[in-house]
């Protein structure tokens, strides 16, 4: 007999008695309370442990929701759900929810007592700490084989413990404080880029206290670290690699791509450091809803960080309404009150509100842990690094990248497009779109430390709101890969680190993983580029078609079917501009991903270089020992005899060294393969970029062709305008011809129409025939001459025109000259011209003389000034000469007098020669002084002849 699932079964398929896949769902929602104990006892221990874990999570979640404040998102959603349930109960007349609420308020003891496999209730203090709810992973390898950690639930590689336990100082609960056994490689993972957690876990590893933030930030380059943890976390390897400051946006926080060994001694150099640090960005993904919620929570956390507690309380009381928190942190819908009128429609509306409130509560429950984590650590010291979108990783200075995130290729490829349903039946497009979830590309950070070549510590984020198992998570993929690793594949911490780096860098490039949730990055970009290429080809074909139509219409422009719509299509570049914008966006995203891949390659090369330095000595065979070393080792070997084997031939030692050599060779080979695989990923992105560039070049060529076609159209329009101008000229020509013909006739008709005696006589009239003969004869001559001058272009006509012009000019010039000569105007004009020339010459002479007189006076004045200055100088020198002669006569018998005070030396006086003993010079001093004055006068005359611009007179006023 077939088993029918009860109406309360929550399983998505009929499982009958096969409940091994979901025993927790079956025992909680399928079986009555009387059968739960018997079913639980019949299960194997693994299923019982699974039920215990699930029930423990349910109990913990219920207790946490009951104690959640209403100010949080989860608390507000829980309150809305209770209101919706109350309205639904009132609309349907059921009161089952009230009893459930009462039991919830009284505690979860009744539920725990009736459901087997439920653990004991823990204290609320443990649940209040977000570090207690976030789980860290611990994976051990011993001698290359998986190893279960004693004291932790589950088995390899799914053993986890809370972050609070991993950071605690309780050695019994914290495995990182326990000494590592020989041959054991340990791996600990923190599920967030939380700098506080990193500092704490490294301090716990060394059994030390966490270093102070000021000591890590401000450290002298020559000061030795006070502890080993401080040595690992010194600024050059930790906070100095931060690429942000206090004024940067929250999404700009990240560590620079970096990989380096950390020497044990910060001052002395170490060739092969045993500690290593690595910071590497990598590509991942997130749902658009999760990104929006994370940005919203980050904004709220920043707001609370900026405002003080008193300001928050004051705003909550006086400025914001009661629903502000719910409106700010919840979806954009309000819980409507249930209608008072009963009926099936009212019950359906109440049920719809219950379902919406339940969905909002489920989302809030998923995000509750991440919300508390961000609220606590986003602005801590040191802070938490949130996840970044692709554009945030490149444009970190932008305050918001919401519009750019909505324009990602992956977002457009995973978002349902608006369409119109056809027909009354099921729409295939709607069925396909309902399965789509908008997703975007994220840039996360891998932080990794290798300590003492035995322990690996990593820190990278996970998806938002993933309280359930996520097969696309990096750590989940890493655990699955380690679970199915070959024996001996993980023989050292470097092997484990290579696997971690490879798993983080191959998220979107692993073809072996087929998961519907993870977007296929390469295929989405290929599809977008193919779509743009197809549109570009269609646009090119359309361009050729419209070009042909425009040419045809141009040829048929005289027909009535001529239309300019084809030319309008050719002149419109908006479609090609939109396509070019899309391909530019694709190229921009590919450039950003290429930049991230290049940063990964740089980090990997540094990491592989460090592995080579560490493992190359193990790969090379050691040299044979010397004789003294061999004898010493022989003496130390107990029980050795002369016939015994040499201590260097110990089999266990040789096997151990050989195994180490093989393991090192395999590790180096994996390191080289890591670089090769990453080069292939870069080549794949380069291929996408080349395809996008080809499409972009084709679109640019199409725009160039359109521009050239626009030039052709402009030329055609110019020709058309010239033709229209020609037509207008022809029309004007017709009117001109008519005017030339009828103007003389009209003139003569007007003349003969005058009532004048000279024309009509005293009383007689001219016959009409006579008038016609005169009119047409004279008019014909005038018309003929006019046509010859106006429209004829022959050489004869041009010659005749030139002859006529010359004749007219001859007559005119001759007549005017004759009149001027006969009237005497010609002679009068010449006399006036001569007088005008004389007046101009006289004017020039008078003005020139006046200017010369002024210049002569100025020159004489300068000469007088120069002469007076020279005379004054000569008088001063003569007085100085007489004084020197008197002094010479008085000291004739002395020893020279060169050093006498007050002596003034002159270049024109012999007294300027100090200590001259010559009697000839002494006798000629008087004559020399006279000659000096003459020379000075002559010099003054020469100076006075110089222009004023070349003279340098002494400053001060001179009196003459």
Q: Do 684 and 521 meet the contact criterion of CB atoms below 8 Å apart?
A: no
Tell me which residue has tokens 């499409």: 695
**Measured distance CA(716)–CA(709) in Å, rounded:** 10
Q: In 3D, which of 229, 150, 228, 136 has the Cα closest to residue 184?
A: 150
Among left, alpha and beta (phi > 0; psi -120 to 50; other), residue 436 is beta
Report DSSP letters for 166-225, one per residue.
Answer: HHSS-TTT-GGGSPPPTTEEEEEEESS-BHHHHHHHHHHHTT-PPPPHHHHHS--SSSPP
For residue 797, how far is the Cα from the chain centroid?
77
Q: In 3D, which of 444, 442, 441, 443 has the Cα closest to residue 412?
A: 441
Q: What is the chain's percent helix, strand, coil content, to nearest 5?
A: 60, 5, 30
**Measured distance CA(881)–CA(907) in Å, rounded:** 12
Q: What is the DSSP letter of 255?
A: B
* C-alpha distances in Å from residue 410, one per residue of 437, 444, 595: 11, 17, 18
- For the record, the structure tokens of 152 come out as 């932790």
Tell me which residue has tokens 């060294």: 657
Q: Which residues of the chain have pLDDT under 50?
A: 1-7, 96-112, 124, 220-222, 308-310, 312-313, 316-317, 319-334, 338-342, 559-561, 622-649, 889-960
**Measured distance CA(692)–CA(525) in Å, rounded:** 9
pLDDT at site 918 = 43
Task: Find the distance separating the first CA and the last CA of the chain, reported in whole Å.
Answer: 149
CB atoms within 10 A of CB 151: 11
Q: Do 888 and 922 meet the contact criterion of CB atoms below 8 Å apart?
A: yes
**Measured distance CA(203)–CA(447) in Å, rounded:** 16
pLDDT tens, 307-363?
A: 644 454 455 445 444 334 433 444 444 455 544 444 555 777 888 888 888 888 888
pLDDT tens, 252-308?
A: 899 999 999 998 765 555 667 889 999 999 999 998 888 888 888 888 888 877 764
**Measured distance CA(902)–CA(892) in Å, rounded:** 17
Work out whether the CA dihedral 766, 772, 778, 782 comes out positive or negative.
positive
């Amino acid at each position: 007999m077939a088993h029918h699932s009860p109406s309360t079964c929550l399983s998505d398929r009929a499982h009958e008695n096969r409940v091994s896949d979901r025993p927790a769902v079956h025992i909680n929602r399928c079986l009555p309370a009387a059968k739960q104990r018997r079913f639980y006892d019949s299960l194997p221990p693994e299923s019982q442990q699974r039920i215990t874990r699930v029930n423990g999570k349910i109990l913990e979640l219920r207790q946490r929701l009951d104690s959640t404040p209403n100010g949080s998102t989860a608390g507000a959603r829980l309150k809305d759900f209770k209101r919706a349930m109350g309205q639904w109960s009132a609309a349907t007349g059921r009161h089952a929810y009230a009893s459930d609420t009462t039991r919830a308020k009284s505690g979860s003891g009744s539920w725990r007592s009736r459901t087997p496999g439920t653990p004991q209730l823990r204290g609320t203090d443990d649940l209040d700490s977000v570090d207690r709810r976030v789980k860290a992973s611990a994976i051990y390898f011993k001698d290359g084989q998986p190893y279960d950690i004693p004291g932790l639930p589950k088995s390899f590689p799914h053993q986890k413990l809370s972050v609070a336990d991993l950071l605690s100082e309780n050695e019994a609960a914290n495995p990182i404080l326990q000494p590592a056994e020989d041959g054991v490689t340990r791996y600990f993972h923190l599920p967030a880029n939380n700098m506080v957690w990193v500092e704490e876990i490294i301090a716990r590893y060394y059994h030390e206290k966490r270093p102070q933030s000021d000591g890590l930030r401000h450290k002298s380059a020559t000061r030795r670290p006070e502890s080993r943890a401080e040595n690992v976390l010194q600024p050059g390897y930790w906070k100095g690699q931060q690429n942000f400051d206090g004024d940067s946006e929250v999404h700009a926080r990240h560590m620079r791509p970096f990989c380096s060994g950390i020497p044990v001694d910060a001052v002395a150099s170490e060739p092969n450091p045993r500690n290593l640090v690595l910071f590497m960005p990598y590509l991942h993904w997130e749902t658009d809803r999760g990104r929006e919620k994370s940005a919203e929570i980050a904004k709220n956390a920043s707001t609370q960080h900026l405002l003080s507690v008193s300001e928050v309380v004051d705003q909550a009381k006086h400025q914001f309404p009661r629903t502000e928190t719910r409106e700010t942190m919840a979806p954009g819908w309000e819980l409507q009150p249930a209608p008072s009128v009963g009926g099936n429609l009212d019950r359906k509306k109440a049920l719809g509100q219950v379902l919406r409130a339940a969905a909002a509560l489920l989302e809030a429950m998923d995000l509750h842990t991440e919300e508390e984590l961000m609220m606590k650590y986003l602005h801590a010291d040191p802070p938490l690094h949130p996840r970044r979108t692709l554009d945030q990783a490149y444009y970190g200075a932008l305050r918001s990248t919401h519009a750019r995130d909505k324009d990602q290729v992956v977002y457009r490829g995973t978002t349902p497009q608006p369409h119109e349903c056809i027909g009354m039946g099921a729409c295939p497009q709607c069925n396909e779109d309902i399965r789509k979830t908008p997703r975007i590309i994220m840039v996360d950070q891998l932080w990794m430390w290798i300590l003492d070549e035995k322990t690996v510590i990593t820190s990278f984020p996970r998806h938002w709101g993933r309280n359930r198992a996520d097969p696309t998570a990096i750590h989940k993929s890493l655990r699955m890969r380690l679970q199915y690793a070959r024996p001996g594949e993980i023989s050292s911490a470097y092997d484990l680190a290579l696997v971690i780096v490879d798993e983080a860098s191959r998220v979107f490039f692993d073809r072996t993983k087929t998961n519907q949730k993870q977007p296929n990055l390469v295929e989405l970009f290929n599809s977008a580029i193919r779509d743009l290429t197809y549109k570009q080809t269609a646009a090119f074909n359309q361009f050729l078609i419209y070009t042909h139509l425009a040419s045809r219409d141009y040829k048929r422009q005289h027909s009535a079917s001529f239309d300019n719509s084809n030319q309008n299509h050719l002149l419109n570049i908006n479609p090609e501009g939109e396509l070019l914008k899309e391909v530019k966006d694709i190229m921009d995203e590919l450039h950003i991903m290429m930049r991230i891949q290049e940063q990964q390659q740089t980090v990997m090369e540094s990491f592989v270089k460090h592995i080579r330095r560490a493992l190359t000595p193990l790969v090379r065979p050691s040299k044979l020992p010397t004789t003294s070393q061999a004898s010493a080792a022989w003496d130390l070997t107990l029980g050795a005899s002369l016939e015994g084997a040499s201590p260097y031939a110990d089999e266990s030692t040789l096997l151990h060294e050989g195994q180490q050599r093989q393991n090192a060779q395999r590790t180096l080979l994996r390191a080289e393969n890591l670089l090769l695989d990453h080069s292939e990923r870069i080549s794949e992105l380069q291929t996408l970029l080349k395809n996008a560039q080809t499409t972009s070049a084709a679109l640019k060529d199409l725009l160039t062709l359109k521009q050239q076609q626009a030039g052709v159209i402009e030329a055609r329009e110019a020709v058309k305008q010239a033709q229209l101008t020609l037509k207008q000229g022809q029309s004007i020509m017709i009117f001109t011809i008519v005017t030339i013909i009828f103007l003389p006739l009209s003139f003569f008709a007007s003349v003969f129409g005058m009532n004048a005696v000279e024309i009509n006589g005293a009383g007689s009239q001219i016959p009409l025939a006579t008038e016609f003969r005169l009119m047409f004869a004279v008019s014909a001559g005038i018309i003929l001459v006019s046509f010859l001058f106006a429209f004829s272009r022959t050489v004869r006509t041009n010659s005749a025109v030139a002859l006529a012009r010359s004749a007219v000019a001859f007559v005119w010039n001759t007549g005017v000259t004759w009149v001027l000569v006969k009237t005497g105007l010609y002679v009068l004009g010449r006399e006036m011209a001569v007088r005008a020339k004389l007046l101009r010459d006289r004017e020039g002479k008078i003005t020139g003389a006046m200017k010369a007189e002024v210049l002569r006076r100025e020159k004489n004045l300068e000469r007088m000034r120069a002469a007076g200055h020279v005379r004054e100088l000569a008088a001063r020198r003569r007085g100085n000469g007489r004084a020197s002669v008197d002094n010479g006569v008085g000291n004739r018998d002395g020893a020279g007098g060169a050093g006498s005070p007050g002596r003034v030396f002159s270049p024109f006086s012999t007294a300027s020669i100090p200590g001259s003993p010559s009697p000839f010079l002494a006798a000629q001093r008087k004559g020399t002084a006279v000659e000096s004055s003459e020379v000075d006068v002559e010099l003054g005359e020469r100076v006075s002849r110089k222009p004023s611009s070349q003279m340098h007179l002494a400053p001060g006023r001179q009196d003459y």
